[in-house]
Structure formats: C-alpha cells, structure tokens
A = this chain, B = another copy of it.
Amino acid sequence: MRRPGRYEELLETALRLFREKGYRATSMQDIAAAMGLRKASLYHYVKSKQDLLVPAYQYTIANHARRLEEIASSAGSAREKLERAIATHLQAIIDHADMFALYLREVESLPEHLRQAVRAANRAYRVRFEAIVRQGVETGEFKALDPAVAALLILGACNWLPQWYTPGGRMSPQEITDLFLELLLTGLLNEGGRMDAYRSLHQADLGPRDLPAGVQDRPGAQGRGSGHGVAGDRPV
C-alpha cells in the first residue's frame, strides 16, 4: 500500500501547507488535493492530521541537521561556518514558525514514544550545531566559552523568533539575520589571540569533549512536577 517516497511527499506537502495556511487551517482534504489524491487514500498513510505533526517535525529537523553537518565539514573559518549555521537556523525558524510555536504547546500532551522520537531529533540537531561552536573554540577562533551553553544561547535567541516576528514587518529576514550575526558572533569571537584561548580552555579542564557543564542531557528524567517534563524535550 505504501509506496517508497510517497510518505516523504506527504510530509513535505503537509509541511508546506502548515507553513502557508497554518496548521489549524489545513485540512486532510487540503493535503489530499495538493497531492492529487482522494482524501480516503491519505488514510493509508496516517490516521489524522495530528499524526502528521511529529513526523513532519522530525523530518524537518533531520533535513536541517544534515545541512549543519555539511556546514561543519565544509572548508572555511569557524566564523563562516557559524554564520551559515545561524542563518540556516533562522531561516528554518522563519519558514516553520507556525510548527515551532505549535510544537511548544503540544509536546507535553504527546504520548511518550512520540516525545522520545522528537527528543532524539532535537538532540541530534543540537549536537551538530554545538559541534560547529566547539570547532571554533578548539581552534581558538572563538573564546573559551562552554560550547554547549553558547550553542543553547544562540539557538534560544533564534527559537524565540516565532514569539515576535511578523512576516512582512518593517525589517526583512535578512536584516534580522544580519543583526543576529553581528550581535552573536562578535561576542563569541576571540580577538585576543588563538592559542591563549585554547590553553585557558584546557587549563580550566573544560575539555571540548566533556559533557556540557550544567546542562544535563535528559533533565526530564528527574522530578519536580510538570515544568521539567518540557526540559527534556527542548526543541532544537
């Protein structure tokens, strides 16, 4: 019943419609029509629109994680790589603002196996982003700041965009990206010499491959009520 590639096409179509019309305003009928299918045929693949949300989210994150990997392994300075990583991330956030806002609201009500799937996708993305920051710290191009927390600061600033960004506002996505790059990269760049920073990093016993200080990888696993369930599912 399922043809290879057809499910991916379904996810991409759903994502495009969620982006263009918003998740709530998109119906299964809309998705079927856009794919040239009868609505009934969609039910070979998914039971409901809600069943598309997590796979579409994972699919998006995985695509962007691959882009981060390309960026990390490309030629160029750490600064150039991080510029591309931030620009890519901001573009993803702007393109999928609706889905990210939705995700924040819905994640806690997902069944545990879906939460775990989302968590794994987020972690894979975050680790790749962090690796780019870490490269710059290791070469001394960036300051000897904790790469994990620096990455979370940058991702957080970007991830907050759906709370305030309005398409067609007076500042274009490019202008916002330029401001973000200016602010975030200047703070990270180590103007005071490469080797000094590298040495101080190792003196501080904050080896680049240590676990991120202060950031537990699965905070959701520990107690203290409702709020901390979210922490383990942190979006990218």
Inside 8 A of A225's CB, which chain B residues have their CB?
Answer: 21-26, 98
Q: Is the beta-carbon distance between A226 and B169 smaller than 8 angstroms?
A: no
Residues of B within 8 A of A179 (CB): 145-146, 149-150, 153
A185 and B187 form a contact (CB under 8 A): yes
Number of this chain's copies in the complex: 2
Interfacial chain B residues near A97, Cβ < 8 Å: 227
Say yes or no: is A77 at the interface (Cβ < 8 Å to chain B): no
A51 at the B interface (CB under 8 A):
no
Name the one of B23, B104, B227 contacting A23, with C-beta atoms under 8 angstroms.
B227
Q: Which residues of B contact A212 (CB under 8 A)?
A: 170-171
Q: Which among B104, B158, B165, B226 is the interface contact of A25 at CB below 8 angstroms? A: B226
A163 proximal to B (CB < 8 A): yes
**CB atoms of A176 and B163 under 8 A apart:** no
Q: Give A contacts to B, CB under 8 Å.
A: 21-26, 97-99, 101-102, 104-105, 108, 143, 145-146, 149-150, 152-167, 169-172, 175-176, 179-180, 182-188, 211-216, 219, 222, 224-228, 230-231, 234-235
